[in-house]
């Protein structure tokens, strides 16, 4: 396993005056025109959010029927999705107004933290690896031009910039403090080979390479990526689990007398299961980035599911001519009766997640944006077929035979979509093999 030489240790930095042998604060530059524009745009986003927040609070403070609960869920989902933008802009405003970089020296460590007063994210650098401390005037319109004149140093293979409007006076002050802590002048020149690249091998000691020492890595058995990515078939475990889980609604209809409304609510709940696993997939792909995209997905998908449930319940459970109100106890009782089939569908999609998405490493090459939108196509197509069949069942007036046909059609559609989703794309095996041995 290879890695890029020495790197700083990242940590949450709690800063207060008097800490360390040396401390210097560099406030961010304040671009007041940009701050004013962001503040105005942020206010435009916050005003409607306040109104929806009040609606959501009123909705959750007391609801009597399904419609009230759905309205509260929809308002909360809308608020959650809408709040991402003002939340980000508020953080940016706080950083522009109060953000700063703090330099501290303690022992043989140089810490550079960035954030708000008393709290930020810090990086600890060993003084022995710090090189070429210098004052820099950045090129116009470059990635560092927002700093203006600033300071830089080299650490391993990377250069680190800090400070704003910092020149020779600040450079002399910090260099003096670092030299006192280091017990002598700071390093200059190029990095050592061991600071650029290191190698770890089983049973071998860590050694510096890149022209100095060559370490032979033990031979690894070559596995066939093509074999790992054999297309999912009807006999695959995930496909069999999907078929078995979908047979439970068929058994419930034939032997337990489940009606059209109960089957429709069950398939709505399966959409929620698909959304749950899609959120987990986003976390696998994006890791920390999924904290933002995941919130947006929850908001968007939650609003979609709330409206979708009202549509399903109003037409197929209560009926077109029934009153719009529904007792929550009735809704809860319906889900209690459906829980074995719903649990089977949850397990089925879980098997596909572990066997295919993780086991076959289908997450490789996927982006957060693509994964976030993935479930909608399958859910919309599935429910269009189900709703069409359900409407036909209502028109004929003898729903059980038609409902059986609808369920069988849903199984065939599910299996087809499952096989298509997990089909090994041409060149995917080769791409994965290159990634494994690259």
Q: To which residue do tokens 């240790």 refer?
A: 9
Q: Any idea where the domains of the chain sit in the sequence?
A: 2-28+99-195, 32-98, 226-437
pTM of the model: 0.60
* Torsion from C-alpha of 270, 275, 279, 284, nearest 10 degrees: 60
What are the angstrom distances between the C-alpha of 416 and each of 250, 420, 421?
A: 18, 6, 9
Checking if the pLDDT of 378 tops 80, the result is no
- Does domain 2-28+99-195 correspond to CATH entry 3.30.70? no
Quote the CA–CA distance of 52 and 79 in Å, as a whole number. Answer: 6
Report pLDDT for 433: 39
Read off the pLDDT of residues 244-303 as tens digits, 9 standing for 90 and up. 988 888 888 888 888 877 888 888 888 889 999 999 999 999 888 888 788 888 888 888
Please say whether the beta carbons of 296 and 279 come within 8 A.
Answer: no
Per-residue b or e along 83-99, where b marks 16 or more CB atoms closer than 10 Å to that residue's CB = bebbbebbeebeebeeb
Q: To which residue do tokens 């309205």 refer?
A: 71
Checking if the pLDDT of 50 tops 80, the result is yes
Read off the pLDDT of residues 181-197 as tens digits, 9 standing for 90 and up. 988 999 999 998 888 86
- Mean pLDDT value of segment 360-388: 79
Per-residue b or e along 365-391, where b marks 16 or more CB atoms closer than 10 Å to that residue's CB = ebebeebbebbbebbeebbeebbebbe
Report the side by side order of strands in the sheet with 100-106. 9-14, 119-126, 109-116, 100-106, 22-27
Read off the pLDDT of residues 67-100 as tens digits, 9 standing for 90 and up. 777 777 788 887 877 787 788 888 889 988 999 9
Closest CA to 86 of 51, 53, 46, 36: 46
Give the confidence band of 397 by pLDDT, cuts at 50, 70, 90. Answer: low
Q: Which span out of 51-60, 198-207, 323-332, 364-373 was modeled with the highest average pLDDT?
A: 364-373
Task: Look over the chain and give the mean of its residue pLDDT values, rounded to a whole number.
Answer: 78
- Mean pLDDT value of segment 216-232: 49
Quote the CA–CA distance of 289 and 295 in Å, as a whole number. Answer: 10
E strands in 166-225: 198-201, 204-208
More confident residue, 343 or 405: 343
Read off the pLDDT of residues 88-141 as tens digits, 9 standing for 90 and up. 888 889 988 999 999 999 888 899 999 888 888 899 999 999 999 999 998 887
The length of the chain in residues reads: 438
Read off the pLDDT of residues 5-25 as tens digits, 9 standing for 90 and up. 788 988 887 777 766 678 899
Read off the pLDDT of residues 193-213 as tens digits, 9 standing for 90 and up. 888 865 443 343 444 333 433
Report pLDDT for 370: 86
Read off the pLDDT of residues 303-341 as tens digits, 9 standing for 90 and up. 888 877 877 777 777 764 444 455 677 778 888 888 889
Please say whether the beta carbons of 82 and 343 come within 8 A.
Answer: no
């Amino acid at each position: 396993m290879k890695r890029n030489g020495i790197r700083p240790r990242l940590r949450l930095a709690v800063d207060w005056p008097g800490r360390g042998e040396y401390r210097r604060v560099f406030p961010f530059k304040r671009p007041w025109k940009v701050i004013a524009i962001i503040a105005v745009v942020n206010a435009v986003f916050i005003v409607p959010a306040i109104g929806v927040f009040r609606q959501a609070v009123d909705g959750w403070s007391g609801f009597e029927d399904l419609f009230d609960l759905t309205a509260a869920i929809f308002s909360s989902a809308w608020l959650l999705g809408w709040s991402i933008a003002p939340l980000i802009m508020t953080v940016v405003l706080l950083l522009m107004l109060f953000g700063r970089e703090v330099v501290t020296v303690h022992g043989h460590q140089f810490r550079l933290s960035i954030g708000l007063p008393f709290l930020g994210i810090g990086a600890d650098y060993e003084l022995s690896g710090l090189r070429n401390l210098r004052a820099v005037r950045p090129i116009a319109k470059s990635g560092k031009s927002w700093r203006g004149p600033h300071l830089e140093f080299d650490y391993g293979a990377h250069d680190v910039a800090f400070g704003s409007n910092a020149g020779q006076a600040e450079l002399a002050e910090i260099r003096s403090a670092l030299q006192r802590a280091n017990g002598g002048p700071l390093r200059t020149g190029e990095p050592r080979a061991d600071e650029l690249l290191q190698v770890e091998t089983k049973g071998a000691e860590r050694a510096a390479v890149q022209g100095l020492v060559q370490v032979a890595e033990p031979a690894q058995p070559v596995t066939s990526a093509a074999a790992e990515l054999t297309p999912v078939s009807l006999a695959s475990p995930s496909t069999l689990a999907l078929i078995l889980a979908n047979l439970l609604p068929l058994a419930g209809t034939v032997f337990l007398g489940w009606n059209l409304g109960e089957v429709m609510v069950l398939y709505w709940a399966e959409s929620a299961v698909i959304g749950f696993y899609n959120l987990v997939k986003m976390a696998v792909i994006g890791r920390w980035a999924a904290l933002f995209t995941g919130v947006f997905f929850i908001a968007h998908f939650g609003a979609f599911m709330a409206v979708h449930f009202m549509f399903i319940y109003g037409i197929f459970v209560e009926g077109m001519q029934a009153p719009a109100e529904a007792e929550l106890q009735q809704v809860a009782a319906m889900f209690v009766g459906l829980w074995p089939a719903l649990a089977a569908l949850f397990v089925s999609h879980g098997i596909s997640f572990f066997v295919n998405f993780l086991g076959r490493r289908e997450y490789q090459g996927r982006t957060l944006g693509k994964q976030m939108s993935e479930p909608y196509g399958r859910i919309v197509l599935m429910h269009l077929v189900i709703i069409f069949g359900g409407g036909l069942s209502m028109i004929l007036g003898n729903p059980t035979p038609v409902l059986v046909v609808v369920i069988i059609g849903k199984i065939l559609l599910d299996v087809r979509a499952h096989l298509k989703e997990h089909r090994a794309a041409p060149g995917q095996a080769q791409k994965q093999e290159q990634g494994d041995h690259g």
